[in-house]
Structure 1
Amino acid sequence: MMRALWTAGTGMVAQQANIDVISNNLANVNTTGFKKSRTDFQDLMYQTIRQAGAATGPDTQLPTGIQVGSGVRQVATQKIYTMGNFQNTGNQLDVAIEGDGFFRITMPDGTINYTRDGAFKMDSAGRVVTSEGYPLEPLITIPEGTTEITISSDGRVSAKIPNQTNAQDLGQIQLSRFINPAGLESVGRNLLKETAASGAPVDNIPGAEGAGTLVQKYLEMSNVQVVEEMVNMIVAERAYQMNSKAITTCDSMLEVAAGLKR
């Protein structure tokens, strides 16, 4: 069989994976704190028919060789951690991170996950939690009867309570930074998990040692650019189409070869 059939087949599989990633980006265009992904590709192994530099005589050698590639493969999907636009919500528990860092979230099994989604809520016990009910770490509890919550740029949380002259300090929000945030594992629900590739988290108060600062009553929206993703989709679709055309061309060539003997 013609080698090009299998080579073009790998191209179709790779572009299908590319479309899958682009579709996920577009699906999350309004997801708070979402970071778009990019697909990286690598060429596959080559068959060397003639080695470059091989001797062709006592004092001569081949300046170039002959190599035939066998296609392409998807090698990585990398999250791009550029900042999304900020949206003013007016909600006292909505917090955006301006700069690097992730909120720390305590999971039911006691482990820590991370998120850029600052759309926090208050549960029946007054704890500050995510939309899924997972508490912020360190735990912040809002007293009953609180009329106003203030979150400073450095993460100090305070509450104004009736019949108290001064605001009550409720705790400190911390941020975690990673040497390689692209190595974090996405686990859904706007949460990320530490991996060996991401490195260990470095915990700081907002604004300290490179950590971002907090902006209350704002949310960081997705960094997906719809026009850019639509262009990427068109390019991937055309690449898929060209690979399928290569397969049909190979099929036509095989048909001609098979019809030589009548």
Structure 2
Amino acid sequence: MIRALYTAATGMKAQQLYLDNVSNNLANINTTGFKRSQVNFQDLLYDKKFIAGSESAQGFEIPSGIQLGGGVRPISTSKVFSQGNQQNTNRSLDIAVEGNGFFQISRPDGTIAYTRDGAFELNSKGEIVTAEGLPLTPSITIQDAKEISIGTDGTVFIKGSDGSIQNVGQIMLANFPNPAGLESMGRNMYAETIASGSPIVSAPGEQGTGEIHQYALENSNVETVTELVNLITAQRAYEINSRAIKASDEMLSTINNLS
């Protein structure tokens, strides 16, 4: 019964983490470019009473042994980079990536962060920046523009007040060998890690990156129904493990009361 107590406790801890993850997914259901996370579990070490294939006292081979597991543990949380639905906004600096790839953002410390959030603005210098004022990399400056046009390959054209058309730069995307290995930094940004591999920077539509679409934003890829089902599953699993602890406690109580 003592084994059951500790085994069920690992299950309750695992389901608590699972519930925390589901809650974060649901909390970000309206976050632009958000990618849902999933928790991966792993069973613990087994106590092997009898090993399958060993010889019994009568000299026969035991076809199956006795192995008692020690419970479960969370092994990782991974981002699911499936495509989110696109929402038309009619804003010229709203850009969505259809396919793989991340926008590159220059941070104050000089490092590069990566994001799927394409809600950009212009600062006082005419630079394309995020809602927090961090500039897009490579930097693109737009001044005296009546219209802004961004092609699917990232090329940015402006129409000046005199009616002339000018190419002011190209938005580049970064792709990674293992996007699930990126570090989530919050604020809709990710950081490169050893697990993610080095970024492969290219024009949209090249080297495995997707195309970009102007006047649109990518919604979160969280599916409400799926997360609600996961929520119920976590709650029921937590409840069942708590019942296992209660049953073990009652059995121990019965043994203690034997006269």
- How far did residue 209 of structure 1 move? 2.1
Residue 244 of structure 1 aligns with which residue?
242
Q: Which moved more, 1:14-23 or 1:127-136?
A: 127-136
Residue 154 of structure 1 aligns with which residue?
153
Residue 94 of structure 1 aligns with which residue?
94
SS at match of 1:131: coil
Q: Aligned partners of 1:58, 1:185: CA distance in 2, in Å?
A: 57
Deviation sequence 1:6-38 (CA, Å, 0-9, x none): 000000000000000000000000000000000
User: What code does the residue aligned with 2:154 have?
Assistant: G
Q: Aligned partners of 1:76, 1:209: CA distance in 2, in Å?
A: 29
Residue 52 of structure 2 aligns with which residue?
52
Residues 89-238 of structure 1: pairs in structure 2 closer than 5 A: 89-143=89-143, 145-163=144-162, 165-238=163-236
With structure 2 as the length reference, what TM-score do the two structures score? 0.98
SS at match of 1:147: strand
Q: Aligned partners of 2:38, 2:115: CA distance in 1, in Å?
A: 19
User: What code does the residue aligned with 2:157 have?
Assistant: S
Q: Aligned partners of 2:232, 2:122: CA distance in 1, in Å?
A: 43
Q: How many residues are aligned here?
A: 259
Residue 16 of structure 1 aligns with which residue?
16
SS at match of 2:145: coil
- How far did residue 142 of structure 1 move? 1.1
1:36 aligns with 2:67: no
Gaps of 5+ in 2: none
Residue 70 of structure 1 aligns with which residue?
70
- How far did residue 58 of structure 1 move? 7.4
User: What code does the residue aligned with 1:260 have?
Assistant: L
Q: Aligned partners of 2:109, 2:137: CA distance in 1, in Å?
A: 14
- How far did residue 59 of structure 1 move? 5.3
- How far did residue 159 of structure 1 move? 1.0
- How far did residue 193 of structure 1 move? 0.4
- How far did residue 57 of structure 1 move? 5.4
User: What code does the residue aligned with 1:160 have?
Assistant: K
User: What code does the residue aligned with 2:242 have?
Assistant: S
SS at match of 2:169: strand
Gaps of 5+ in 1: none
Q: Aligned partners of 1:69, 1:169: CA distance in 2, in Å?
A: 64
SS at match of 1:83: coil
Deviation sequence 1:120-167 (CA, Å, 0-9, x none): 111111111111111000001111x3111111000001111112x431
Q: Aligned partners of 1:209, 1:183: CA distance in 2, in Å?
A: 19
Q: Aligned partners of 1:252, 1:209: CA distance in 2, in Å?
A: 62
